[in-house]
Every structure is written in structure tokens, then in C-alpha cells.
Amino acid sequence: MTRVLLIEDDPAVRKGVHLALRRRGHEVETAASGETGLLALDRFRPELVLLDLMLPGMSGLEVCRRIRETQQIPIIILSARGDDIDMVVGLEAGADDYVVKPAGGEVLQARMRAVLRRVAGEPGGGAAAGAPGAAASPSRPSATTYGALTIDRAALLVTKNGHPLVLAPSELKLLLFLSDAPGQVFSRQQLLEQVWEHSFYGDVRLVDACVMRLRARIEDDSRAPTYVQTVRGFGYRFGPL
């Protein structure tokens, strides 16, 4: 069972998603606005947030940014807007995934499972499951330093010049995956399948948006990245430093 906070202003959608999640055994708290959603965040302490974009008052994007300022909780945007620009803007605001409404209960369940597998503690998953070096082996130190960046795979902590960085689950899993094979180039499709567990090529926008957010957090100059580098025409690699 997962504690899910659903922030959705449409009563019919709110009721339908609430019912679909309850039937699958989840504990669900609902909020009809961004303001009440943020209040519920502290009180309900959800493990995942489903967030509509088109909310009255505070927009879904602003809610996403405010949550991401202080918390690493997984966020899935649930929106009727399916245009590329809406999806990219939502992902750039800090969301881990984007689902276009209407979406069936099975689709939501699958996306929630995939996002939660990026977070420590999910049964059968574990943090960064799927990343080649998600778990430290006995013969390998859990913390590795790359330039100013130190990545502790066991504690799931990333520091830069000794200062801890707050990374969203998708950002952390992407960094763990790429840094486990420094210099190796991965295509967007490979990253999509390994980090997001998607197989639909159209979702590669998730990869680009997450790379941009990750660079903003770990690079000195995200326009001239040192750690997560673009290999034009192929994909991304970690380093070489």
C-alpha cells in the first residue's frame, strides 16, 4: 500500500482516480487546490504525489516547484495537456513522470510502481533499481568521488564539495546509472528503459528534461557540462572528467 496525495480540482476526475487507487489497495488523500495540497503534504506525509497542472489559484507547476524546493518525494503530473511543451515544462519543474488524462487505473499503477522503484524501501525494488551499480558490492566502496562530486551508492547521498545535494528520485537514479559506467554512451531509449522503465520512444522527452535538471544541480556550468555530457547523435555519458 502506498500513501498517495492526489491534487486535482475536477471532482469527477478526483473521484475516479481516488476510487481506482483505493481498489488497488492504496491510501489516498485528495486536495482540490494547490494550496490545500501543500497543507496536506505535511499532515498526510504521502509517499507519492499525483498532481494536476490546471489548478485554480496556485498552478500545478508552482506546486511542483514548491514541493521540490524541500522534498525528494516522487511527483507524477496527471494532466489533460498532452502537448510537448506542456510535458517538458512540467518535467522541468521537477516532476518524475507525466501521464496524460484520461488514464486508466492500470496505467497509473504501472507508472507509480516505476517511480517508486527509484526510491529506497519499495518492496522488490529498492532505490535506483535497475542501475548497474545501484547497490555497493562488498569489494567496492559505496562512496566514489568524481572531481568535486561524491556519490554514495549505499546511502544514496550525493555531495558536491562536501555539501549535500537534494536530487529528485529520477535525477538520482539517472546519475547512479550513468556514473556506474563512466565514459559509456547510452542512448535516450536505453536510459528511458533503464531509468524510467518505459518502452515508448515518444517519452524520451523525460530523459532530456531530467538531464537538464540534473545538470542544473551538479554542474558548475550546465551549458558546458563536465559530468553528464551529450554525445551528439547518440545520447549521454558520464565524464570523462
On whether both 113 and 202 belong to a single domain, the answer is no
For 66-82, what is the mean pLDDT?
Answer: 85
- The amino acid at residue 8 is E
pLDDT greater than 50 at residue 165 = yes
Local confidence band at 155 (pLDDT 50, 70, 90 cut-offs): confident
At 146, give phi and psi (nearest 5°): -125, 100
| pLDDT higher at 127 or 239 | 239
| Within-domain flag for 137 | no
Number of domains in the chain: 2
On whether both 114 and 7 belong to a single domain, the answer is yes
On whether both 115 and 10 belong to a single domain, the answer is yes
* Residue numbers of the domain that contains 29: 3-119
On whether both 115 and 147 belong to a single domain, the answer is no
On whether both 48 and 92 belong to a single domain, the answer is yes
- CATH code for the domain in which residue 83 is found: 3.40.50.2300
At 222, give phi and psi (nearest 5°): -65, -15
pLDDT greater than 50 at residue 127 = no
| Within-domain flag for 131 | no
- CATH code for the domain in which residue 194 is found: 1.10.10.10
Measured CA to CA, the distance from residue 156 to residue 136 in angstroms comes to: 10
pLDDT greater than 70 at residue 1 = yes
On whether both 87 and 51 belong to a single domain, the answer is yes
Measured CA to CA, the distance from residue 79 to residue 100 in angstroms comes to: 5
Measured CA to CA, the distance from residue 194 to residue 212 in angstroms comes to: 18
Question: Is residue 22 within 8 Å of 28, Cβ to Cβ?
Answer: yes
| Within-domain flag for 179 | yes
Cell numbers 551508492 label which residue? 153
- Whole-number pLDDT of residue 131: 46
For 172-192, what is the mean pLDDT?
Answer: 92
Give the cell for residue 27.
491510501
pLDDT greater than 60 at residue 197 = yes
- 73, 104, 119 — which closes off a domain? 119
| Within-domain flag for 136 | no
| Within-domain flag for 135 | no
On whether both 153 and 77 belong to a single domain, the answer is no
pTM: 0.67
For 65-82, what is the mean pLDDT?
Answer: 85
